Chains A and B, each alone.
Chain A
Amino acid sequence: MTAETIRITGHDGEEIEAYTARPAGEETRGGVVVIHHMPGYDRATKEIVRRFAELGYDAICPNLYWREAPGADPDDAAATARANGGVPDERLIGDVGGSAEALRALPTSNGKVGVIGYCSGGRQSVLAACNLPLDAAVDCYGAFVVGTPPEGFPLQVTNLIAQLPNLRCPLLGLFGNEDQYPSPEQVNELDEILTRENKPHEFYRYDNAGHAFFSVDRPAYRVEAANDGWEQVETFYDTYLGG
């Protein structure tokens, strides 16, 4: 496996930083774009990128806060981005699109690219899948895919209900039943909308787990939910990104 920090072309043709991990060998394989959580492009997210390489995928995570805070510590960069109102949706689509193109340009690419995002990145994974030619998307407990942000919300976030009819690939959703954002009722609503729109989707919902249950370095970590969640991701990507 090779893991390194590179530069890619993101939204508006701007160069941004990204972290990539690739298996050894020249066989063709699928690619995975990892969208980091709101706390940033951090060590735990880079471990996830390497795990996808260990699973046999070319993986990449764009640093969504590169423009605000190039070279900063991940937590300082996240604080700066937060104070500035968060990542605009249009820029996110451009940066994920650039990441997907970087994967497809690899000599090992089989042409298929999936996306996965955690926390705020869960919503952004769905957003990307509604706007980009992707082959599979995973939403890990993303808030405000449905539901309405409270009045006076300073971050530039809206729900994605109007965009869901444009979802362009199968969606895997992984949620904790103790989460409030998204709440179990909001997960039900998303499930109903996707069913009504005939969008292929699979949802797995875990008891005794709340938000961020995949986060191995946080008290929210729930080993049972995380282990099963990883198995669902492996199966889902094997189905849609293999070959």
Chain B
Amino acid sequence: MCTYATVKTELVGSAKGPNSKWFGVTDGTVYFDHPVHAMAEHTLNIDFADPSKGPGARVAVELTAASARELVAAIEAALASAPEALTV
């Protein structure tokens, strides 16, 4: 299926690549749809991007649904392990 579903979020942070260069990330796009590269029919895809720097300023991740859920849990666990004052 082709879900078309797309969830956008603003981000503050940095990502590395393409060409092994760091760049500031301003936009996150999250969707569950066909991957470009991963060997699965559908994946949870995340684009970390800075549209002001052009379409190539993007780090793309394609994860199976199970591994995407594990990533969410890992992110929550990492945030929970830090002192609350640091993660506000």
Contact = CB atoms under 8 A, between A and B. Distances in A.
A107 interface: no
B23 interface: no
Contacts of B55: 68-69, 72-73, 76-77, 79-80
A211 B2 contact: yes
Given A77-B55, A79-B55, A83-B51, A153 B4 contact: yes
Nearest to A142: B2
A191 to B, nearest CB: 19
Contacts of B3: 181
Contacts, number: 83
A150 to B, nearest CB: 7
Task: Give the dominant DSSP class at A's interface.
Answer: loop
A149 B60 CA distance: 26
B5 A83 contact: no
Contacts of A169: none
Interface stretch (B26-34, B71-79, B80-88): B26-34
Given A75-B60, A76-B58, A79-B29, A155 B51 contact: no
A199 B60 CA distance: 43
Contacts of A212: 2, 34, 41
B2 A72 contact: no
Contacts of A141: 2
B34 A143 contact: no
Contacts of B33: 38
Contacts of B58: 76, 79
A196 interface: no
A180 B49 contact: no
Interface in A71-96: 72-73, 75-80, 82-83, 86
A218 B8 CA distance: 26
B12 interface: no
A149 B2 CA distance: 11
Contacts of A150: 5
Contacts of A86: 4
Contact of B1 (A72, A77, A211): A211
Interface of A: 37-39, 68-69, 72-73, 75-80, 82-83, 86, 119-120, 141, 143-144, 149-150, 153-155, 157, 179-181, 210-212, 218-220
20 contacts: A37-B2, A39-B34, A39-B36, A69-B54, A73-B56, A76-B56, A78-B36, A79-B58, A79-B60, A80-B49, A80-B55, A83-B27, A83-B29, A86-B4, A119-B2, A153-B5, A155-B6, A179-B1, A181-B1, A220-B41
